[in-house]
Amino acid sequence: MSTEMSKGAAAATLADSDFAVDRRTHDVRSAALDYWSRVRSGDLGALPAILGLAGLVVLFTALRPETFLSERNIANLFVQALPVTILAMGLVFVLLLGEIDLSAGVASGVCAAVMAKLIVEADQPWYVAVLAAVAVGIVIGTAIGWLVAVIRIPSFVVTLALFLGLQGITLRLIGEGGTVPVRDEVIVALANKNMPVWLGWVLAVLCAVGYAAIQLGRWQQQRARRLAGRPLQLVAAQCVVVALALLFVTYLLSLDRAPSPLITLAGIPWGVPLVGVLLIVCTFVLTRTAYGRHIYAVGGNAEAARRAGINVTRIRMSVFMICSGLAAVSGIVAASRLNSVTPDAGAGNTLLLGVGAAVIGGTSLFGGRGKARDAVLGGLVVAVIANGLGLLGAKAYANYLITGSVLLLAASIDALARRRRAATGR
């Protein structure tokens, strides 16, 4: 009997030292301690972006309390963030592999020019023009991916060359000093029109309920399989916070923000649910599919991923295709916001803001770490800086200096966190 008890104790000890941690039941205290341990080891996630965004909101609210959190400015803020956020979402896929796409901004301009020319000169319906623009973006991404993954030219060199070449294509399509107006009602509505107030409330409630259902369902699955997971209290608290945030923003945007009592201006801009759909799709791809796991594997260690049977070449090509495809969507939204496409569309600081948004949101420049939500958080940070400084009447150079400083700070935090993770073996 004593021998059997000793064997049982030994087996229990082995299980505790091996896989029992995966079946441990968390309470709020242990979950908080685990999170703090991850933060101390360098796994910061989106924490810096969230704290930075909160700090900026508090700062600009204190400096411009009468305008910054007004209904009209909140709507403007979301619209300002749309093109950069969508572009950053595509760049997240490339950055996850430790690569870079310097041509994403001007690729968005080429795609926007193709869409505008088809609508204005070829008299094509908006959906044909949009599909053609996205197809052009995917073709550009395929060419980049082939040169990088198959020919093995560094992505910096390839995309720098296309950064110059694609600007020439946009100039050829539109003409020097020319402008192609965008007047299609559907395209213009993306950044300039609002959905009905009742529809906004319906979408907000559906999103809150859907998010809660997904989180609680995931917790239930982990519990049924006796796997470690967060305590129910934290899951419920997270669902409540997300629901309150959605409902509060919907409430603000549902208020009449028209400058004149003779007109009514209320509702969520149509571009906001577009970003929401893209966020859900990209998050699902990265976290719930084998393809997404392969992206993280290649970004973490390409050679180990190759030996594990992952087609590294295909993964590298595909992320550039996704990036350029989303760049096309970003260009379409930017054209909607400006009601036109010019030869310098997507040039200037468009790319830098997109990369900055992804990095500020928490995506690592070294590959292997990042999420689609980083683009949304970083896009909001970039938009808040530009919006807040505009309300303060700051000079243009101040916007560049502050945004560049925030990007440098985010990259520094990323580098220090990476060194900390390496030191702790995470």
Vertex 416: Cα angle to 410 and 421 (nearest 5): 120
Domain that holds residue 167: 52-281+319-417
Asked if residue 181 is part of any domain, the answer here is yes
* Alpha carbon 409 to its chain's center: 19
The predicted pLDDT at position 361 comes to: 86
Query: Which tens digits make up the pLDDT trace of 76-113?
Result: 888 888 999 999 999 999 999 989 999 999 999 999 99
Asked if residue 16 is part of any domain, the answer here is no
- Extract the tokens encoding 250: 């919907």
Residue type, 346: G
Could you give the CA distance from residue 326 to residue 320 in angstroms, rounded to a whole number?
10
Backbone φ and ψ for 257, nearest 5 degrees, come out as -115, 20
- Extract the tokens encoding 46: 């989106």
The predicted pLDDT at position 202 comes to: 93
End-to-end CA distance of the chain: 42
- Extract the tokens encoding 8: 């049982």
Asked if residue 198 is part of any domain, the answer here is yes
Asked if residue 215 is part of any domain, the answer here is yes
Asked if residue 411 is part of any domain, the answer here is yes
Asked if residue 109 is part of any domain, the answer here is yes
Judge whether 47 and 346 are in contact, CB under 8 Å. no
Could you give the CA distance from residue 377 to residue 362 in angstroms, rounded to a whole number?
9
Domains identified in the chain, total number: 1
Could you give the CA distance from residue 58 to residue 139 in angstroms, rounded to a whole number?
43
Query: Which tens digits make up the pLDDT trace of 149-159?
Result: 999 999 999 99
Asked if residue 21 is part of any domain, the answer here is no
Q: Which residues of the chain have pLDDT under 70?
A: 1-28, 31, 35, 39, 41-43, 421-426
Asked if residue 288 is part of any domain, the answer here is no
Of the CA atoms within 13 Å of residue 1, those in its CB half-sphere come to 0
Question: Among residues 302, 415, 410, 398, which one has the least CA distance to residue 357?
Answer: 410
